Chain A
Amino acid sequence: MGLSYLVLGVVAGLAAIERKGFLQAMLSRPIALAPMTGWALGDPHGGLLVAPPLELLWLGAVNLGAALPVHEALGTVAITGGAVLAGRALGVGVSPEVAILAVLLCAPLAHLGRVADRFVELWNDRLAVRAEAALAGGDARAAVRWNLHGLVAPFAVAALLAPAGAALAAVVIPAFLRAVPGATGPLRLGFFAFAALAAASGAKALRAREAPRFFYGALGGALAAGLLIGGVLS
C-alpha cells in the first residue's frame, strides 16, 4: 500500500512539471493522466472511467498570462488514486459510486493546488534574483541553471498533496459504502449527473460563437441518433 502512495506522488509530481514547467504535451491533462494514474496503480479501467468527465469539467483550466487556473493535474491524480485504492479496498474496482465519492472528496484539492501555485511563483522570484546575482558574479552558466530549480517546488507540492487526498478517499469511501450499502444506487445516478454537468462545463469553457446552438443541437441530435440506433438494435 505504501508503494501505491509513492507511485501516486511521483506521477503527480511529474504531471505538475509537465503541466507548466516542461513540454505541455497534454500528458498532464485529465484525459491522459487519469488512465496513466490508474495504470500505474494497476487499474487502467478505473482511470478510464473518471478521465472523460474530469477532462470536460476542467476543459477551461488554462494558464492565460499571469492568471492561475485550478490545478487539474493534482485534482486528477488525487481523484483517480483515491477511487482506485478505495475500489481495491472494497474488492469491486472503480465503479461509478466509488468514482463520484472520490470526486466529491478530492476535487477541492485542485483549488488548493492553485493557492500553492501562487507560492511557487513567489519562490521562483527568489530563483530569478539568485540568477541575476550569479550573472553579476560572472558565472553565466550557473545563472541560467537556476531555471531548472524551478521544477522542484511544483513537483514537491503535487507529490505531497495528491497522495494525501487519495489516502483520505481510500479511508472514507470504503467506510461509507460499508456503513450505508443502500447509497450505491443514488450515488451511481449522482455520477451520471456529474458527468453530464462536466460536459456542459466543457462547452461553456470553449466560448465559441453561437455555442448554445452547437451544444444543445449536438446533444439533441446525438440523443435522437442514440435512441434510434438503440430502438433498431432492440
Chain B
Amino acid sequence: MSPARVPPRTLARVFWRCLFLQAAWNRRGMQNLGFAYAIEPALAALYPEPGRRREALERHLQFFNCHPFMAAAIVGGAIHHEERVAAGEEPPGAAIRYKTTLQGPLAALGDGFFWTALRPFCGALGAAGALVVGVPAIVAAVLLYNVIHFSLRLGLFRAAYRGGDAVVPVIARLGLPLAADRLRAAGVALCGVAAAIVVLRGAGAAGAAAGIVAALVAGTGYAALVRGARLLPTAYVAALAGIAVAVAGHLHWSS
C-alpha cells in the first residue's frame, strides 16, 4: 500500500492553524485543543471515513504542552507519522509516541531560546534603540524577532513533516542553547546602555540631580532585584525616591 499524502494546501492550512495553538490553553489538557485544531485538516485528508477520523482526532485531543513555536516541529512530525498510520505502515500509537517523546525537550529548548533569550534581547534592543532614534529601532527589533521566529517555525514544521524523527538532529545542529547564552549576555549589556541613556536624558531634561538619582537607582535597583526584591514594589520605591529627592532639594534651596 503506497503511503497516503497530505496535499500542500492542507499543510499550509495546518501551519496557519498552528498559530492558534494556545487559543484555548487549559489546565486539563493544556494545548490539547489547539493541537487537535491545528492537525484536523490533515486528518480529514488522510481519513475520509468518519470513524477512523474520529479515532485519529481523539488521539490528538490528549494532553499536550510544548513551546508554541517548537510545537510546529511536533505538528509536522505527527502528520508524517499519521500518513504512515493511514497507509497501515505504522501502528496508531506512532504519532502519539513521537509527540510524548519530543514535547518536553522541545518545550525546554523553546522556552530557553525564544522566551528567555531572543524575545528579551529584541525587546532590549528595541527599547535602547527607541531611546535614541525612536520608531525605526522598534520596527527593526520586531522585524528581527519575526524573521528568526517565523523562519524557525516554518523550517521546523517542514523538516519534521519530511523527516519525522529525523528532525531531532536538525534541531541539535541549530545550536540554540549557545545562541541563547550569547543573546542573554548581549541583552544585559543593552539594558546597561539603556540605563545610561536614561541617566543622560534625565540630566538633560531635569538637571544633574536627576542624572545622579537615575544612576544610583539603576545601580542599587539591579542589586536589590538580583537579591530577590519584588519588581512592582521596587519600581514604586524607585519612582517615589526620585520624587522625594526632588522635593527635598527644592525645600533645601528655598530655605
Contact = CB atoms under 8 A, between A and B. Distances in A.
Contact of B120 (A44, A63, A205): A205
A44 B50 CA distance: 53
Interface string A2-37: 000000000000000000111111110101100100
A64 B23 contact: no
Interface stretch (A117-125, A158-166, A170-178): A117-125
Interface in A141-190: 141, 143-151, 182-183, 185-190
B30 A66 contact: yes
A195 B250 contact: no
18 contacts: A21-B20, A21-B22, A31-B127, A31-B138, A55-B123, A121-B26, A144-B57, A146-B33, A148-B37, A150-B25, A196-B238, A198-B235, A200-B221, A201-B221, A208-B181, A210-B185, A211-B184, A215-B222
Contacts of B116: 62, 64, 206-207
Contacts of A216: 192, 219, 222
Contacts of A55: 123-124, 126-127
Contact of A186 (B107, B117, B195, B250): B250
A190 B243 contact: yes
B240 A219 contact: no
A204 B120 contact: no
B213 interface: yes
Interface residues of A, number: 99
B28 A128 contact: yes
A188 B191 contact: no
Kindly list the 9 A-B residue pairs having the minimum CB-CB distance in the complex, ordered from nearest: A218-B192, A150-B24, A193-B242, A192-B202, A222-B196, A186-B246, A199-B195, A197-B238, A200-B222
A138 B19 CA distance: 26
A64 to B, nearest CB: 5
Contacts of B135: 35, 44, 48
A20 B25 CA distance: 9
A39 B200 CA distance: 27
Interface of B: 19-20, 22-30, 32-34, 36-37, 40, 43-44, 50, 53-54, 57-58, 61, 65, 68-69, 107, 111, 115-117, 119-124, 126-128, 130-131, 134-135, 138, 141-142, 145-146, 149, 181, 184-185, 187-202, 205-206, 209-211, 213-215, 217-219, 221-222, 225-226, 231-232, 234-236, 238-247, 250
A186 B25 CA distance: 44
A197 to B, nearest CB: 4
